[in-house]
Amino acid sequence: MNLTRLTFTLDGHAISVTGYYDRGYAGNRWEPPEPESFSISTAEITEQADPNEPVSIDDLDEEDLAVAALRAWHERDEGEREHYASMRREEMRLGARL
């Protein structure tokens, strides 16, 4: 696992977190499955939804924060996969011209 930094929006606030993604475990005959998760090490609000009513990171629901971080991790991962696939297609296209 690598320490990952993510930025996302939750309840209108811009949030920045660092943490670890765990893909979980499918389970077997003797052990139950474990769902994937994102464990947050640090979190901060980088931009308030309403500057007139500031909110602390402690005021946000921890479970909602973890779910939003996991969603942001998936979005980033999907974007990286799409970028890699696009690069591979371009590489194949250019290779075919030679």
Tokens representing 8 are 């996302």
Q: How many CB atoms lie within 10 A of CB 71?
A: 14
CA trace torsion 64, 12, 73, 27 (10° rounding): 20
What pLDDT is attached to residue 95? 80
What pLDDT is attached to residue 43? 96
Q: HSE (CB half, 13 Å, CA atoms) of 92?
A: 6
Q: Residue 90 above 90 pLDDT? A: no
What distance, in Å, lies between the first and last C-alpha atoms of the chain?
A: 40
Which of 61, 63, 46 has the alpha carbon at shortest distance from 5? 46
pLDDT, tens only, 35-59: 999 999 999 999 999 989 999 999 9
Tokens representing 65 are 């924060």
pTM of the full predicted structure?
0.76
Give domain limits for the chain. 4-97
pLDDT, tens only, 11-39: 999 999 999 999 998 889 999 999 999 99
Q: Residue 98 above 70 pLDDT? A: no
